[in-house]
Chain A
């Protein structure tokens, strides 16, 4: 680099730029958090949904599935599974409930998590709530996720 561009100038760009854009990120975060109620389906965030989120977490569902596109890419997207399963929480519960313990020979299988009826209902309600989040351009692109 040319001598007219000094180390001091580079340092100032680093500190100035770093601090400035960090403040920009904080400002945008404040704005985002404020405007979330319009899209985040929080009006349907019931006690049961919260319990469902816990069931989702402690069974590490994200280790195979994506949820709104984030997670592992081994099993289907579940952000719109409620729509894909014909808007039926019963179908979701039945799917989880009847997974064979030993799996399906030669195929990827979902483990049998032995959830209680209450846990099944909770996680199904959590997935219904997630489906109700208004994502930009109504992502995912189609029903297959």
Chain B
């Protein structure tokens, strides 16, 4: 760690990991509700558990992105953070706002929460992933603005590298597209259309810029490969992400009352969306193979390779599976979508944040890399979580294929709930895989506390 203010990342990462644990606890709860419908009913109905599960994911990834930026940007800009106090203040505001929102979901009925937070003044609640009370959304905007100001001033008054400029672009895009969450037209088709300007343009747009720049940074650090080479890769990856992903938004406009031409445009452009993820995989392996040093942090290298591969599988391959309009006609809004969502979010965004944490946490704790035992445990947790997420995805895919056949494709389609009962075996298997994922997460937590032999440092 070269600059003292980089250490601010630590509190962000600790909060991120704590919320990650909460997210998974609610995940296994929902998994059980899929097969034991009355579990925790009516205290925590499925819709509440799901809202907590998805909102915690978004909030902890944002903590992860912010922490990553606070660690990376000063080093790239070769100066201390512009306003460390602001970063600390925003941390507490964001944490308290996030915690209050989650408590609001759990402690009062959602309709009451809407009343308490005066949703009527500017109704934005009750849309998937954007369930936060309007006041929380305003809080998110304030935190995002302060964060971008802080990071932006650090970049602008320091050394501008491709990595920190791309990261900053991604973060600004994140904040700008979030503003669409305040636009909630009465016309449902319009509502749905612009809802995707937050959701799609985040995860299949600007977040890819963030992901690619974080990955590029860690790869420079752990491989010692020439910056010029890495920056060229970075540009071409994010170029492909935008070229495919912007008009690729159209794959969400097949069946919501939008014009038919989206079937062609959405299919063609989203069929290209795996390309940037495939290039990320090529990039990561290529750069690691050409490494100029063997970094003592083996776990971080594994996470970096892992996120490239899993993002390609989850976002690229599983996305492509159901992105063509004639196929999506049958699969839209089934467990196939759930399968894709799980592996894509884990592979791309969870893993890239864990890559940054893996690389930076030892440095912030005054080590070059975690001790041998801790790394061994972290690597075990990598495989436990990653393989169980693969299992979750495969079981949900199997459930989805069967659901599509029974409910949508066969000559004599069955009602939704009848089909759900027939899928119980896959949901049970998914739940077991979810519990294994949770155990992997506990292993991950333990890796931060494990004592052991210090890593041998090779002279560079």
Chain B, Cβ-Cβ closest to A19: B242
Q: Are B189 and A40 in contact (CB under 8 A)?
A: yes
* Complex interface bits, A55-96 against B, C-beta within 8 A gives 1, otherwise 0: 011111111101111111111110000000000000000000
Interface size, B (range): 35 or more
Number of A-B residue pairs, CB cutoff 8 Å, is 236
A36 contacts across to B, CB distance below 8 A = 187, 189-190, 257-258
Q: Are A63 and B247 in contact (CB under 8 A)?
A: no
Q: Are A73 and B188 in contact (CB under 8 A)?
A: no
Q: Are B243 and A133 in contact (CB under 8 A)?
A: no
Most chain-B Cβ atoms within 10 A of its Cβ — which of A32, A66, A73? A73
Q: Are A144 and B190 in contact (CB under 8 A)?
A: no
> Chain B's nearest CB lies how many Å from the CB of A68?
5
112-145 of chain A: CB within 8 A of chain B: 112-113, 129-130, 133-137, 139-145
Q: Are A17 and B239 in contact (CB under 8 A)?
A: yes
19-72 of chain B: CB within 8 A of chain A: 33-34, 36-38, 41-42, 45-48, 50-51
Q: Are B333 and A108 in contact (CB under 8 A)?
A: no
Q: Which of A35, A64, A139 contacts B332 (CB 8 A)?
A: A139
4-55 of chain A: CB within 8 A of chain B: 5-7, 10-11, 13-14, 17-18, 21-22, 24-25, 28-29, 31-33, 35-36, 39-42, 45, 49-50, 53-54
Q: Are A108 and B417 in contact (CB under 8 A)?
A: yes
A103 contacts across to B, CB distance below 8 A = 37-38, 41-42
Q: Are A108 and B247 in contact (CB under 8 A)?
A: no
236-292 of chain B: CB within 8 A of chain A: 236, 238-239, 242-243, 246-247, 249-250, 253-260, 262-263, 265
A139 contacts across to B, CB distance below 8 A = 254-255, 329, 332
159-187 of chain B: CB within 8 A of chain A: 162, 184, 186-187
A62 contacts across to B, CB distance below 8 A = 47, 126-128
A7 contacts across to B, CB distance below 8 A = 228, 231-232, 235
Chain B, Cβ-Cβ closest to A137: B329
* Complex interface bits, B105-146 against A, C-beta within 8 A gives 1, otherwise 0: 000001100110001000101111001000000000000000
Q: Are A18 and B239 in contact (CB under 8 A)?
A: yes
B298 interface residue (CB < 8 Å to A): no
Q: Are A25 and B110 in contact (CB under 8 A)?
A: no
> Chain A's nearest CB lies how many Å from the CB of B381?
29
B408 interface residue (CB < 8 Å to A): yes
A21 contacts across to B, CB distance below 8 A = 242-243, 246-247
Q: Are A144 and B416 in contact (CB under 8 A)?
A: yes
B83 interface residue (CB < 8 Å to A): no
B337 interface residue (CB < 8 Å to A): yes
* Complex interface bits, B323-362 against A, C-beta within 8 A gives 1, otherwise 0: 0000001101111011000000000000000000000000
Q: Are A57 and B257 in contact (CB under 8 A)?
A: no
> Chain A's nearest CB lies how many Å from the CB of B444?
27
B376 interface residue (CB < 8 Å to A): no
With A and B bound together, what is the CA distance between A141 and B66 in angstroms? 43
Chain B, Cβ-Cβ closest to A14: B239
With A and B bound together, what is the CA distance between A28 and B184 in angstroms? 20
Q: Are A144 and B408 in contact (CB under 8 A)?
A: yes
With A and B bound together, what is the CA distance between A70 and B189 in angstroms? 12
Q: Are B42 and A101 in contact (CB under 8 A)?
A: yes
Q: Are B254 and A136 in contact (CB under 8 A)?
A: yes
With A and B bound together, what is the CA distance between A5 and B420 in angstroms? 53
Q: Are A111 and B256 in contact (CB under 8 A)?
A: no
Q: Which of B187, B238, B409, B414 contacts A45 (CB 8 A)?
A: B187
Q: Are A10 and B236 in contact (CB under 8 A)?
A: yes
With A and B bound together, what is the CA distance between A88 and B413 in angstroms? 22
Q: Indicate whether A50 sits within 8 Å of B186 (C-beta atoms), given known contacts A17-B239, A106-B37.
A: yes
Q: Are B128 and A72 in contact (CB under 8 A)?
A: yes
B192 interface residue (CB < 8 Å to A): yes
> Chain A's nearest CB lies how many Å from the CB of B410?
10
> Chain A's nearest CB lies how many Å from the CB of B352?
19
Residue positions of B touching A, CB distance < 8 A: 33-34, 36-38, 41-42, 45-48, 50-51, 110-111, 114-115, 119, 123, 125-128, 131, 162, 184, 186-193, 228-229, 231-233, 235-236, 238-239, 242-243, 246-247, 249-250, 253-260, 262-263, 265, 329-330, 332-335, 337-338, 407-409, 413-417, 420
Question: Given A139-B255, A144-B413, 4 more contacts at CB 8 Å?
Answer: A31-B259, A36-B187, A66-B333, A145-B407
